[in-house]
A = this chain, B = another copy of it.
């Protein structure tokens, strides 16, 4: 079996999931925590080398305050859960805006936690324009685009899995995603089960990977 080195996770559908259950939309995020941890352990057991979670974005911070507070708290809680596992953890995003939770600042340098292990990246207040804004500082460099963006420590993504039925990237790491295979799960993220992940890996195994060639 061909295992993708790096999987990108777009855990979408928390708000729709909550609304469908008669809850306030902001209550959905909390139900995404357990899936995140389950997925982490599952990916590790498959031998995946790197995983990137799409936490929240600069764009998301245009939403009402009560929603912002809910997804900020969920991301803080998720990072704490991940930090209790053995990983090489990096939280990355625009730390200079108010929307970035101060509690996550200690994680913004990659750190081996509990003996290290799989690379885990967590995008917090990430923006694709913010990411590429780092490019301009390099003048006439012959260095690759990838090596000059703010998220250069995140490697090329082999497989992106998006929950919640939408077929779009929504600004997710445009440079690392140029050649990624894109698998969409119809179910909402809080309804995550291991079968979704396994089906995605099976599908990935049927793809002819050419990296644009």
* Contacting residue for A136 out of B135, B174, B175, CB 8 A: B135
Total interface residues on A, CB under 8 Å, equals: 38
Which one of A79-87, A179-187, A191-199 is at the B interface?
A: A179-187
Asked whether A152 is an interface residue with its Cβ less than 8 Å from the other chain, the reply is: no
Stretch at the interface among A22-30, A45-53, A117-125, A138-146: A138-146
Instruction: Give the contacts of A34-68 with B (CB-CB under 8 A).
Output: 57, 59-60, 62-63
Any chain B CB within 8 A of the CB of A163? no
Convert A70-83 into 0s and 1s, putting 1 for each residue whose CB lies closer than 8 angstroms to a CB of B: 00000000000000
Q: Is the interface of A mostly helix, strand, loop or mixed?
A: loop
Q: How far is the CA of A165 from the CA of B204 in the complex (A)?
A: 13
A59 touches B135 (CB 8 A): no
Among B168, B177, B210, the residue within 8 A (CB) of A174 is: B177
Q: Is the CB of A63 within 8 A of B175?
A: no
Least Cβ–Cβ distance between A196 and chain B, in angstroms: 15
Evaluate contact between B174 and A207: CB separation under 8 angstroms.
no
Cα–Cα distance between A180 and B175 once the two chains are bound (Å): 15
* Extra pairs beyond A170-B179, A171-B179 (12, CB < 8 Å): A59-B213, A63-B213, A128-B178, A133-B145, A136-B136, A166-B181, A166-B207, A167-B182, A168-B179, A168-B180, A171-B212, A174-B178
